[in-house]
Structure 1
Amino acid sequence: MSTESPSASGNYVNVVEKFKPEDAEKTNGRWAMLGMIALLGAYSITHQIIPGIF
């Protein structure tokens, strides 16, 4: 059996303590910009808003 304390073993508690809302906002913004670039790329190639539907 391990003699490490639960806080030193890298469990869920450590992950929650390291969470920063600012990091989540940055990640969300980056994924949104990537989606917009993909949307513009698809539109420039197919000239359809949603390729295959409109």
Structure 2
Amino acid sequence: MSRTDPQFKLRVPPELRAKIEQSAFASRRSMNSEVVIRLEASYAQDKPAKEPTP
């Protein structure tokens, strides 16, 4: 990630923001990096949809 990547505004409930902040601090990452890493992990768990066989 770099500062030239597009920015994205996101509204987050205060309780979730606090959890992200705590996790980021514990992992020694920025909150942005924490969110990106967790989103990437979530998508990595998704199984690709099977294509129908002819």
Give TM class, smaller chain: 0.3 to 0.5
TM-score relative to the length of structure 1? 0.34
- Which has the bigger relative contact order, CA under 8 A and spacing at least 6? 2
More helix by share: 1
Say which one has the larger Rg.
Answer: 1
TM-score of the pair, normalised by structure 2: 0.34
